[in-house]
Structure 1
Amino acid sequence: MNKYKMEKSILVNIKNKVAYIKFNRPNKFNSFNREMALLLQDELKACAENKAIRAVVLTGEGKAFCAGQDLQEVTNPELNPGFKKILEEHYNPIVTLIRSLSKPVIAAVNGVAAGAGANLALACDVVVANEKASFIQAFSKIGLIPDSGGTFFLPRLIGFQRASGLAMLGDKVDAIEAERMGMIYTYFSSETFDDEVQKLAGKLANMPTQALANIKSAFNQSMSNSLEEQLALESKLQIASARTQDYKEGVTAFMEKRKPEFKGE
């Protein structure tokens, strides 16, 4: 499938082993409602099951990446699902799916990423941003706390003091500053952003997929493991990686001084 398929608030394009998932509520700055959250979960599950997909990109249509929760939904008595349902059925499953997906997930932050939108981006494996993008922990400004993994990932990325300050003050962080403080991997110019994202996604999609999955698993478990537990896990995952065809291809290509052709097997 080489063209976007329309699924209401989510656009999907599978091209060159990469699934491009685009938030598609540009008139609402791609803020989440229940329909969009559930559709995103469906697409992430489909990516997990499709062996032809070896990398995933999350991005937004229009000027924003994602402005977080659609407040019109939560302030409408007829539509409001309530925060318990929003967190337990919308955002928490999305974060879990991103972190459990055995393929690299790239957040291509094309514009403002606020609230849950910022934290879903930070849950991804590699976060890149348009130089004009920005990140805002907007929760405190309306009397809420960061959710969608924000209190977990942000302090680990940028340190306790900066994370606490950004969460409490709700300051806007531009892409250049986000890279400087370690919040994101890198940023690209507006002119080259789309091309650079495709190049990055293509590179990851052609790398040894099982090794990348094992790297992801190791980092996930490092969040709570002791050093001894992590060393044991590294041994387990390294042995598993060494049994893959991609490892054999990588070593053979190195010895033969050629570019490896990884199959994700």
Structure 2
Amino acid sequence: MTVLLTSDADGVRTLTLNRPHRRNALDTELWEALRAALTEAGHDRDVRALVLTGTGGAFCSGADLPKEVSAAHPLYRMRTLTDVTLLLHELPVPTVAKVTGPAVGAGWNLALGCDLVVATPESTFSQIFARRGLSLDLGGSWLLPKLVGLQQAKRLALLAETVDAAEAHALGLVTWVVDAEGMDAFVDGLTARLTAGPPVALAQTKALLNEGADRTLRDALASEARAQSVNFASADAPEAFAAFAQKRTPRFTGRWAVPGRTEDT
């Protein structure tokens, strides 16, 4: 069985966790498949947005802990988790977590690593680590305080409570809650809007927002200036101005537009 399904449509790459018998728990094979798929997506210029989801009515029930103790040091296994976390967080295209059913432990932090999270009313969430004698991983210790504040982050992590989609939305951990029957159409519409955007500018904005969480205003302004310089060197900025003047929808391509340069140089 293929543990990670990949499909492409209209600039959107969908990665589907496919271990329904384990509620899409992440085992070694799936971790490695995610690392490879995210690396490939980051280098494929035809990919304009990425959706991460799961099969069988679940998003992801967390890490599938091995039944037998490996002779390898756990640090080596954690390096793979670190790679997946950074690849997802730094992917230069918008990412959407499409959450149906439970998102637990590393599974929830995988969803939170996406730029936008869409859930159904039936979705549930838990930072289950404390109940397993573990501490947060997959970026949870960094993400949670920034998303909900330190006190609520401690509540979620120390008590390992299960929260429903409505509470997760109220806390700012879910972007939208959509009825299950409307989920596919909603995500399709959302990704269509994202892929219609200027790819270079969206990549710059995503990086700026991610970096800004730990930087001073002076650092942020310097980064913004560099990003805008990149944007003005693309064809998308003049295309946006021309489309506005001509009262039409802009056609963004992300092409390099400096005189004397071609797209591949």
Task: Give, in whole Å, the separation in 2 of the partners of 1:200 and 1:40.
Answer: 23
**2:57 aligned with 1:41, yes or no?**
no
C-alpha distance in structure 1 between counterparts of 2:170 and 2:196, whole Å: 28
Equivalent residues in 2 for 1:75-224, closer than 5 Å = 75-77=67-69, 83-89=74-80, 91-224=81-214
Aligned partners of 2:179, 2:117: CA distance in 1, in Å? 15
Structure 1 window deviating more from structure 2 (177-186 vs 157-166): it is 177-186
The DSSP-based 3-state class of the residue aligned with 2:59 is: strand
Query: What residue ranges of structure 1 are gaps of 5+ in the alignment?
Result: 1-6
What SS does the aligned partner of 1:20 have? strand
Checking the alignment, whether the CA contact within 8 Å between 1:12 and 1:21 is kept in structure 2 is yes
Runs of 4+ with deviation above 6 angstroms: none
Match of 1:68 in 2: 62
Shift of 1:81: 5.4
The two structures, once aligned, show a CA RMSD in angstroms of: 1.4
**1:118-177 Cα distance to aligned partner (Å, 9 max, x none):** 001111111111221111000001111110000000110011111100000011121111
* Count of residue correspondences: 255
- AA at the equivalent of 2:227: L
Equivalent residue letter for 2:100:
N
Q: TM-score, with normalisation over the residues of structure 1?
A: 0.92
Q: Which amino acid aligns with 1:260?
A: P
User: How far does residue 264 in structure 1 lie from its aligned partner after superposition?
Assistant: 3.0
> Residue 207 of structure 1 contacts residue 264 of structure 1 at CA under 8 Å; is this kept in 2?
no
Aligned to 2:245: 255
CA distance, structure 2, for counterparts of residue 195 and residue 241 of structure 1:
31
Q: Could you state the TM-score of these two structures normalised by the residue count of structure 2?
A: 0.92
* CA drift at 1:80: 7.5
Instruction: Give distance in 1, aligned partners of 2:36 and 2:59.
Output: 19
Letter in 2 for 1:37: W
> Using the alignment, how far apart are the partners of 1:29 and 1:259 within structure 2?
42
1:56 equivalent to 2:45? Answer no
Q: Counterparts of 2:110 and 2:73 in 1: how far apart (Å)? A: 20
Structure 2 gaps, min length 5: 256-265
